[in-house]
């Protein structure tokens, strides 16, 4: 929520992509806690590729390892895991939607408080994080990071409640926004989800030990059993008792609100093999393609996905339309950041570093190009041109989600409103000319709702969080409302 620098940090080739929020994983009472956490974070790597951190406790003291880069670059090293002994562990994989990219912002964050040590990690964003931070600093608080999570630590420290659990609950009840959060103390693993459940969080078990993580794919990788989703507004407190047993105390809000999961979990963020909100992400994405074919049919010879996000929707489009599906674009999975100086000449190769046309499947054909979403549109321009250069007779772009008109404030790294393609053009025809396609169509909001939940959108009580399409923000945006009065935080440059 603090010093918004994403446009400066991320290279040009990533600027047309919606970046994931973060991923969290925690386990209590298991001898291999750190190793299992590392494996879980590996499964959640798609939710954040900038940094990862793990905190453990062995009955005597806390241990932490935080590294910039991918989970597999560091936590596959036995020497690293040996530095993380203990039977309680939480971990976090990060993409910086807010705050600078620096080691001090890598979660979990740890603090020694009156009630003992506590570590916290969360996925999402608080919409009043800056407002609360300003108040805390005015009261004398000293902030060491630019992460929202540090605000929660300060609120826990200042709470008048007696136990660490009650202090934690007292703190998060003051936060607004979309989040799933894990905290660990010397004996407890605590999981919490925001009041309307914008961000996902699931509960599982392995060898009788409780696990919490952002997606079910993290349970699958370690052979754990899915138990249930953490409910919106719920706080689950798992604690090791003196006899070694584990108690589980689920505290639910007195006045629960309807759940409104983020639709982009289904469109883009979650792994296709995950189950989010009781729904298969893969099936939802395939349904998006089926509904897109119904909404926007076209005469063509081949359906081609923009990999990897567009693949399930393209399969659905092909199935519904009867047009053959082919891999007309091949993705290079080994290119992340630009590995050479991005001079103007090299920028021209930007898309080809990550995607290349499969000419044999495209030449002389009318192509339906299916993508999961369009943000700025700059990548779409390059991909459409790449398909034409490969010999396509026609290129018809079909997008398996509605047009994005509004920025997000709940953990998705979106451009400013005026930089979104939908706001830069007066109509669909103008957008189509800009990206160079023969036709352009988007999935309707009702088509998306039916693909995910089976029914059309209820405008009086929307079933999902969908503000990026509709402008219907589900919570107050306190930091945005008071933006003119909130000065930017000072940031100490860091080499970490």
Residues acting as catalytic residues: 22
**Cβ neighbours for 133, distance < 8 A, ≥ 6 positions apart:** 1, 2, 143, 150, 151, 489
CA–CA dist 276, 255 (Å, integer): 24
Q: Which of 482, 385, 496, 462 is nearest to 134 (CA)?
A: 482
Q: Exposure of 344 by Cβ count < 10 A (0-12 exposed, 13-18 middle, 19+ buried)? A: exposed
DSSP state of 262: B
Q: Which of 261, 276, 326 is nearest to 467 (CA)?
A: 261
Reduced to 3 states (helix: H, G, I; strand: E, B; else coil), residue 66 is strand
3-state helix, strand, coil in the chain (%, to 5): 30, 25, 45
62-68 and 51-57 beta bridge pairing:
antiparallel
445-484: b or e for each residue (b if 16 or more CB lie within 10 Å)?
Answer: bebbbbbbbeeebeeeebbbbbbbbbeebbbebbbeeeee
Reduced to 3 states (helix: H, G, I; strand: E, B; else coil), residue 437 is coil
């Amino acid at each position: 929520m603090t010093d918004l620098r994403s446009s400066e940090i991320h290279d040009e080739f990533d600027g047309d992509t919606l970046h994931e929020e973060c991923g969290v994983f925690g386990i209590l009472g298991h001898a291999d806690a750190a190793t299992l956490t590392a494996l879980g974070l590996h499964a959640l790597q798609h939710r954040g590729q900038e940094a990862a951190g793990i905190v453990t406790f062995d009955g005597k003291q806390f241990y932490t390892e935080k590294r910039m880069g991918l989970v597999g670059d560091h936590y596959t090293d036995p020497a690293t895991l040996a530095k993380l002994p203990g039977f309680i562990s939480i971990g976090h994989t990060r993409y910086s939607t807010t705050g600078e990219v620096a080691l001090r912002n890598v979660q979990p964050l740890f603090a020694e408080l009156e009630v003992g040590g506590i570590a916290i990690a969360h996925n999402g964003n608080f919409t009043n994080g800056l407002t609360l931070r300003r108040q805390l600093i005015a009261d004398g608080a000293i902030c060491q990071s630019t992460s929202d999570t540090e605000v929660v630590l300060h609120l826990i420290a200042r709470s008048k409640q007696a136990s660490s659990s009650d202090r934690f609950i007292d703190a998060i009840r003051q936060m607004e926004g979309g989040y799933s959060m894990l905290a660990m103390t010397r004996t407890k693993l605590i999981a919490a989800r925001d009041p309307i459940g914008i961000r996902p969080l699931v509960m599982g078990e392995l060898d009788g030990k409780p696990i919490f993580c952002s997606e079910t794919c993290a349970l699958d990788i370690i052979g754990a059993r899915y138990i249930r989703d953490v409910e919106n507004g719920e706080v689950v407190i798992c604690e090791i008792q003196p006899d070694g047993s584990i108690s589980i105390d689920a505290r639910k809000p007195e006045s629960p609100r309807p759940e409104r999961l983020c639709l982009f979990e289904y469109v883009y963020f979650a792994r296709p093999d995950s189950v989010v909100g009781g729904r298969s992400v893969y099936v939802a994405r395939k349904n998006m393609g089926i509904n897109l074919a119904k909404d926007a049919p076209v005469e063509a010879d081949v359906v081609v996905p923009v990999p990897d996000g567009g693949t399930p929707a393209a399969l659905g489009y092909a199935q519904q339309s009867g047009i053959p599906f082919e891999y007309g674009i091949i993705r290079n999975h080994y290119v992340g950041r630009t590995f050479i100086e991005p001079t103007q000449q090299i920028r021209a190769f930007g898309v080809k570093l990550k995607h290349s046309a499969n000419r044999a499947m495209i030449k002389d054909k009318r192509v339906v190009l299916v993508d999961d979403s369009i943000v700025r549109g700059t990548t779409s321009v390059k991909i459409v041109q790449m398909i034409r250069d490969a010999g396509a007779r026609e290129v018809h772009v079909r997008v398996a989600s509605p047009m994005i008109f509004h920025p997000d404030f709940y953990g998705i790294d979106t451009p400013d409103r005026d930089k979104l393609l939908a706001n830069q053009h007066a109509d669909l025809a103008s957008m189509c000319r800009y990206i160079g396609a023969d036709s352009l169509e988007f999935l309707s909001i009702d088509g998306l709702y039916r693909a995910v939940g089976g029914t059309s959108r209820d405008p009086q009580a929307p079933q999902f969080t969908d503000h990026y399409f509709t402008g219907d923000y589900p919570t107050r945006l306190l930091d945005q409302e008071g933006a003119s009065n909130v000065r930017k935080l000072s940031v100490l440059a860091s080499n970490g």
